[in-house]
Amino acid sequence: LSPEETKLYNVMANNVEKLNLTIKRDDLLFTVSIDSSKTKFKLDTAAKQKPVLKMDVTMKGVMEEANQPMNPKKLSTYSHYASKEVEKQLTELLTKLQENDADPIGFGLRYQASKLHTEKTYKEWRQIYPELSFDVHVKVSIMSTGIVE
């Protein structure tokens, strides 16, 4: 994994406390210092439906750097930009792990733990994982621009 992918992996697996995210949107480039993050996920493998991993991530932090003046009144816009960018990056990372048949976060263990254990449980997961789609929702809350005027 790249350093950026490793950061995102740690968000999903370990609910890291300190993290810097760089967000690029058109000609705007800014860095958010995340002070807290929380990740929850649920596997939805209902019969007759495509299996889905639903992941919710919440992050709180402050803006540290920007390539242009940041308006404190637009915090919700900046938070939205950061949320969409992290959603995209997490989905790409989950897809990369899936394509490489890697499950370092333990989705398969969660699946097996939530089902009645039989000798077929592991085989079922091995069939489900390649078909799994990802429904990732990220809510980044930027508390301030971090700029002293």
Give the tens place of pLDDT for each residue, 77-123.
999 999 999 999 999 999 999 999 999 999 988 888 887 777 788 88
Work out the average pLDDT over 43-64.
Answer: 89
Token pair 């960018």 is found at: 85
Work out the average pLDDT over 123-142.
Answer: 93
List the one residue out of 63, 55, 56 whose CA is nearest residue 35.
63
The sheet that has 19-25: what strands, in order across it?
19-25, 28-44, 52-66, 133-142
Give this prediction's pTM: 0.89
Q: Which helix (H) or strand (E) holds 29?
A: strand 28-44
> Which one is predicted more confidently, 48 or 40?
40
> If you average pLDDT over every residue of the chain, what do you get?
89
Q: How far apart are CA 62 and CA 32, in angstroms?
A: 6
Work out the average pLDDT over 45-57.
Answer: 88
Alpha helices in the chain (DSSP H): 3-14, 75-99, 107-114, 121-128
